[in-house]
Amino acid sequence: MKEYRTKHNSTIYLLGTAHVSKDSVESVEKAIEEIEPDVVAVELDQRRFLSLISRDEKKIDFKEVIKRGEFLKTFLYLILSQSQKEIGEKLGIKPGSEMKKAIEVANSKNIPIALIDRDIEITFSRLLEKLTFKDKINLLKALLTEEDVGEVNEELLKEMKENPEKFIEMLKELSPKIYDVFVDERDKFMAKTLYEVSKGKEKVLAIVGAGHVKGIINYLSKLDNGEEIDIYELLKVKKKRFSLAKFLGYTISLAIIIIFLYALYYSLTNPQLLKMLTLNWILFTGGLSALGVILARGRLLTALIAFVSAPITTLIPLPFVAVGTLTALVELKFTKISEEDINSLFKTSSIRELLNNNLFKILLVMTLSNLGASIGVFYCMGKFVGLL
């Protein structure tokens, strides 16, 4: 445990923990008993705090995830939380047990609790904002092909608590962007929150991951020396003004609409040509999109929705009206995604198991219906240009 004495005469005790360690749970209880702090601060935001103390595990609303187009962020969260869960199961302890113990002991002694971490949603959003498309692919690949959690044991966790700087430096070297968002920015945020919480208090006990202790003390010292930390800046999720991928997407969509409208205008004096162009557009965009749903083993109703909507949605360059979004929402209405589907998605050992996973099925329906519609669009565009 580290101590930091602020210039306003508060002592902040920082207890570094491992989030899946029985020793950490015992250390937390012992620290509260011995220090008798005025406040117990925990490395949680309100969302994770409520999830931790709730008896019912909060389920992910995949309908909202699809509507908002946040599959990547949700997947990253699922992969990381599932990895922690597996480690916890191996070691016989639930992730975050030391935080839960801190809350329970503090409540039993009527000690106020302070939530000092940044909202996890903002953290993931800021990470994805910083990562390039290539970075995101590499991150997903690394997470999905990570080493088996069997290598994680109490000895490794002990080393991580005793020498966290070694592992933080490894992360910084492997991925500076992930280090910046997940470690450094949160060190700043927690240091600033702790500093404000400690004012007027004699003793504050902070329960944080071992890898954050050094960084928090560093920023506490800077705050004592008059440096400012703009906490609102750390909460911003900036929208990129220019994205090459979006620019190309809108450019292609605009070109498709122009070609389509010109083809219609050109064929107005030729009813047979107009009929052929319209029929081709409907059959190829709608038909191939519906075929994608069938190949993904989706429902016939979903395939029908794909057939009817694809000829229209392919002309509207907005993600929330993409045919894949519509087919996924329809399929989700009839397909229940269970906890087992989420847990087993990253542990499947065969194609058969993967295809029988309802979450993967929804993803496949969305992907293949979009892909089919796109193939239909480019086929029709080529044919239209050839005719004109």
Q: What is the residue extent of each domain of the chain? A: 2-235, 244-387
Q: Are strands 11-17 and 2-5 parallel, antiparallel or unpaired?
A: antiparallel
CA separation for the pair 40, 54 (Å, rounded): 19
Provide the sign of the torsion angle of the four alpha carbons 211, 214, 220, 222, taken in this order: negative
Question: What one-character-per-residue DSSP string does 334-352 give?
Answer: H----HHHHHHHTT--SHH
Q: What is the CA radius of gyration of the chain?
A: 26
CA separation for the pair 262, 57 (Å, rounded): 54
Under a CB-based contact definition with an 8 Å cutoff, are residues 307 and 286 in contact? yes
Under a CB-based contact definition with an 8 Å cutoff, are residues 222 and 188 in contact? no
Under a CB-based contact definition with an 8 Å cutoff, are residues 358 and 337 in contact? yes
CA distances from 305 to 180, 229, 340 (A): 44, 51, 28
pLDDT tens for the chain, residues 1 to 388: 899 999 999 999 999 988 767 888 899 999 999 999 999 999 999 988 988 887 666 677 777 777 777 666 777 777 666 666 666 556 566 778 899 999 999 999 999 999 999 998 899 889 888 888 777 777 766 665 555 544 555 666 666 666 777 778 877 888 888 899 999 999 999 999 999 999 999 999 999 988 899 999 999 999 999 999 999 999 998 765 555 556 665 666 677 777 777 777 777 777 787 788 788 889 999 999 999 999 999 999 999 999 999 998 887 766 556 888 899 999 988 888 877 777 776 666 677 777 788 888 888 999 999 999 999 988 888 877 776 5
CA separation for the pair 375, 362 (Å, rounded): 20
Order of strands, sheet of 203-209, starting from the edge strand that comes earlier in the sequence = 2-5, 11-17, 203-209, 39-42, 113-115
CA separation for the pair 173, 223 (Å, rounded): 27
Under a CB-based contact definition with an 8 Å cutoff, are residues 381 and 259 in contact? yes
CA separation for the pair 313, 328 (Å, rounded): 14
pLDDT score at 153: 57
Provide the CA 126 distance to its chain's centre, in angstroms.
Answer: 10
Question: For residue 301, what are the contacts with CB-CB under 8 A and spacing of at least 6?
Answer: 330, 334
Long-range pairs for 140-144: beta carbons < 8 A, 24 or more residues apart: 140/72, 140/75, 140/76, 140/79, 143/76, 143/79, 143/80, 143/83, 144/79, 144/346
3-state SS of the chain: helix, strand, coil percent to 5? 70, 5, 25
Q: Which residue has the tokens 């029908």?
A: 304
Question: For residue 336, what are the contacts with CB-CB under 8 A and spacing of at least 6?
Answer: 358
Helix (H, G, I), strand (E, B) or coil at 4: strand
pLDDT score at 249: 58
The residues with which 12 forms a beta bridge, in sequence order, are 4, 204
What are phi and psi for residue 365, nearest 5 degrees? -60, -45
Helices 358-387 + 271-281 axis angle, to 10:
160
